[in-house]
Amino acid sequence: MRTQDNLEEHVSSFYAELKRIKQLLDIVEGGNRPVFFLLDEILKGTNSKDRHLGSASLVKQLSNENGFGLVSTHDLELGELSNAMDKVVNYSFNSQITGDEINFDYKLYAGICRSFNASKLMENMGIKITDA
């Protein structure tokens, strides 16, 4: 789902994304055939609390309808849905950091991601990473 701002029509990228999600929901809820969907980093145009609440709610709604698919996310809390919902299963890609080098094996693993590389990437770009 590619969405973008449209200032002439007074539409933010977040609102454009919501309109596309609404289209998906209408198809899933209105049809009698299963709908396969692919969602990538949904609701990125809002704060982390609203993003998590909305994403979790959407996953629950889609799994209760006639839809099935894949949702990619960096939201580790969203991965917790698999503990409460039989229809939700987590898979992830992982990496290994050796010195300043990040290596990917591009294998799919069961469960949420167990390795984190964003801090190393930021550090490699000059951001001094400190504990909050």
Instruction: Give the pLDDT mean for 92-121.
Output: 92
State the CB neighbour count (10 A cutoff) for residue 47. Answer: 9
Please report which confidence band the pLDDT of residue 132 belongs to, taking 50, 70 and 90 as the band edges: low
> Which whole-number Å values give the CA distances from 108 to 67, 79, 83, 92, 105, in the listed order?
23, 15, 19, 6, 9
- Asked if residue 36 lies in contact with residue 69, where contact means CB atoms within 8 angstroms, the answer is yes
Q: How far apart are CA 118 and CA 108, in angstroms?
A: 19
Instruction: Show the domains of the chain with their CATH numbers.
Output: 1-87 (3.40.50.300), 90-132 (no CATH)
Please report which confidence band the pLDDT of residue 67 belongs to, taking 50, 70 and 90 as the band edges: confident
pTM for the structure as a whole = 0.82
Q: What is the pLDDT of residue 115?
A: 87
Q: Which residues contact 59 (CB under 8 A, 6 or more apart)?
A: 71, 78, 81, 85, 88
Q: Does residue 28 register a pLDDT over 90? A: yes
Mean per-residue pLDDT of the chain: 89
Q: How far apart are CA 78 and CA 33, in angstroms?
A: 27
